Structure 1
Amino acid sequence: MNSHHASIATIPDAMKERVAGAVVATPLQYLNALELVEALACRQRYLVIQEAFYRRSDFADLPGFSDWQRVDVIPADRPTPRSGRYARFVIDLVADFVAHRRVGRVFNDWPVLDQAIIGNPHEVLQQDFASRSGAGDLLICEDGTSSAVFDPSVESRSRRLRRRVLGVRDDLLDHVWWYTAYPQGRRSQRLLLNTYAFLRSQLSQRCATSREDSEIWFLGQPLVEFGVMSAVAYADVIRSIARDVYPGRRLRYLPHPREWPDCLARLEADTGVTLARRSGPVEIELIRCARPPARVGMLYSSAFQTCHTIFAGAIPFDVFEPGAWELAPDNGETRIMRDCYAYFREHVRPPHHFFHQDASLGWARLEVGQENLTEGG
């Protein structure tokens, strides 16, 4: 056990070489689930892809995809109502019932599972998968920063109602294992530390010694789409970062899958950034590129933690915290951002940098804490 995080454990031998089934919705969730089934040395492994913002084709070239005994797909697209929480709830509930029946058909075709692995504890479909799996062990592969601040006590009323309608019990997540790269502050949870050992061992192409010094990658976030910032405010933030922090360098903007095409087109026109086609997680993009960028900028993203773990600081990251006046105060995503920035303030350290937007709308680099990013790091 670690002295700072007493609940971190090594994987018990009794959990190894079993039959596991996983459900994921994003490539990052997939990479974390892959790490876990490798660490567990699973005798058999089965996978469900929850197709919402990503399709099966987005996973097909990721490491280890051909090693699953079976890969099933559950479509999770749903229309977005333009008004009314009630309309949103009804649409979500209908989609839940459709997915619920598909999950049942998947389990009819799978063997009995010893372990159920989910990629996002917020997702009703994934909780339903875990509840119906009958597995003896439930493990959560954290989905980056959103899971680092997961607190079931603040779950929305809509999600609670949807879970109860489907028959998912309220105590489902009370005795889970968390497989995580974010162990800090989780003393009450059972933790298994994800060091991305398998992914590192599979990377045939190491980070090149030559670097594209004139190029900066910037990771987009759907803050306009989520109602956190207006399109004008978001463009102003990106423009000021390019002008004040990276003058004379090309800013290559990697869109988030949830950013809308019309918003991206307007952002490109208003800021002069270069939009990039992103085919997978930035962790994989950084491995594939022949010459890595000088730095990677972001507002907030789990990529900071995973890239630090994988590359050990070889890829420098810059984290930018917009001023509070730029953000919608009552938005749920804003609350997540505040928690994430509190985490980053404690753990971003050289060669990475943390910038905060000051009252003059400029960017000030902060001196930050020296606590290790990962156990033993």
Structure 2
Amino acid sequence: MNFFLIESPLQYLNALEAKYYFNIPSDEAKLIVFRGVSEDNIQQIKESVSESEWQDIEYILSSERKIRKYALKNHFRNILKETSIKKVFIGDYRSYLMRHFANISDSEDVIMLDDGRSSVDIHKMIFERVDIRNRNSNLRRILNNLAGLKDQSIKDISLFTVYDSDHNNNNKLHRNNYDYLRKSLKEKPVSDTVLFIGNCFTELNLMSEEDYLKSMRKISEFYEGKRIMYVPHRREKTEKLNNLTGLNALDLQRYNIPLELALSKSDAIPGYIASFYTSAIDNIEKIIGSDVELTAFRPNLDLFDQKIRGTAEEAYNYYSMNHNIRVINI
């Protein structure tokens, strides 16, 4: 059996791509879905999942850490006793429970899936052999140890990723080109619509709402004469979205599934797709980058909170080197 452990809609999308990339039959694929940061994650995943793709799907919904640590440790052991293990895919390397599962599985083929641009930082930690437990507090490390969790870094982990790397390492890298999704989008017509992918910078205190709205006003003016469909991040607050809809020619377009998957189910592909910086731009470029106009709008980086300015600059530098993505300063 091949196990796929995920906790976000994007991780599910990448799990599905990995399943096809590695030619894993549905009757040899088990999906285990963790609650993640919110119930919204679970709901989006449930609406994305096709049950026929998986031999079994298990949702682990408890957010109580004590229950998760002790009960799941025993539950995982029982699961692994019942079957022979082939590959183990983990969606979040930062999850001590996912690392525990992989470490006790004795699988010789553990593969990390992407979960947005944060994966780039995790790749660096893996390549430099930094102990992932260093991210935890001393108390967390002690409690995990007392609980008997084997949450140490995973030896010889492979990567299934859309991102390039210039690190020297012995890790196996499998390129995720979104071949499965690309097939479903290949014959779709292209419309004259602008689709803007929203960000939750304001909600995470990474940019003021005033600066976010000012930036969106400039973007609305940039696309003057075109209708803009704004796709909000699931964490964006209603009040901010209400202020956004006051901008000229901007409408909300909500999806209950990952945007990349929603595009595969749509009648037509928007001819213009834009955002500030987001992993969705990275993914869409791989899927249909040469068929649509992709734009990353770059505000003054001083508008971002200092703790993410470096990340933002790296993202825009990455985009500027990609001929399918244009970077526009606003």
What TM-score range do you get, normalising by the shorter chain? 0.7 to 0.9
Q: 1:354 to 1:55 in 2, by over 3 A?
A: closer
With the length of structure 2 as denominator, give the TM-score of the two structures.
Answer: 0.83
C-alpha contact 1:21 1:116 (8 A) present in aligned 2? yes
Q: Which consecutive residues of structure 1, in runs of 5 or more, have no partner in the other structure?
A: 1-18, 78-94, 357-362, 364-377
Q: 1:49 to 1:271 in 2, by over 3 A?
A: farther
Q: Equivalent of 2:211, from 206, 224, 233?
A: 233
AA at the equivalent of 2:197: L
Q: Which residue of 2 aligns with 1:70?
A: 56
C-alpha contact 2:35 2:41 (8 A) present in aligned 1? yes
Q: CA deviation at 1:121?
A: 1.9
C-alpha contact 1:35 1:197 (8 A) present in aligned 2? yes
Q: Which consecutive residues of structure 2, in runs of 5 or more, have no partner in the other structure?
A: none
Q: Which residue of 1 aligns with 2:328?
A: 355
Q: Which residue of 1 aligns with 2:313?
A: 338
Q: CA deviation at 1:170?
A: 6.9
Q: Which residue of 2 aligns with 1:114?
A: 86
Q: SS where residue 149 of structure 1 aligns?
A: helix
AA at the equivalent of 1:239: R
Count matched residues: 313
Q: Which residue of 1 aligns with 2:112?
A: 140
Alignment of 1:1-377 (within 5 A): 19-42=1-24, 44-52=28-36, 53=38, 54-60=40-46, 62=48, 64-75=50-61, 95-104=64-73, 105-109=75-79, 111-150=83-122, 151-152=124-125, 153=130, 159=136, 161=138, 162-163=140-141, 165-167=143-145, 171-188=152-169, 189-201=171-183, 203=184, 206-209=186-189, 211-213=190-192, 215-243=193-221, 245-269=222-246, 273-329=250-306, 331=307, 333-347=308-322, 349-350=323-324, 352-356=325-329, 363=330
Q: 1:275 to 1:46 in 2, by over 3 A?
A: same
Structure number having the greater helix percentage: 2
C-alpha contact 1:128 1:163 (8 A) present in aligned 2? no
Q: How many Å separate the matches in 1 of 2:285 and 2:18?
A: 19
Larger mean CA deviation between 320-329 and 117-126 belongs to 117-126
Q: How many Å separate the matches in 2 of 1:169 and 1:103?
A: 13
Q: Deviation string for 1:285-342 (max 9, x for gaps)?
A: 222222322201111112222222222521221011221220111x3x4443232222
AA at the equivalent of 1:240: K
Q: Deviation string for 1:103-137 (max 9, x for gaps)?
A: 33254245343322111223344334333434332
Q: 1:173 to 1:109 in 2, by over 3 A?
A: closer
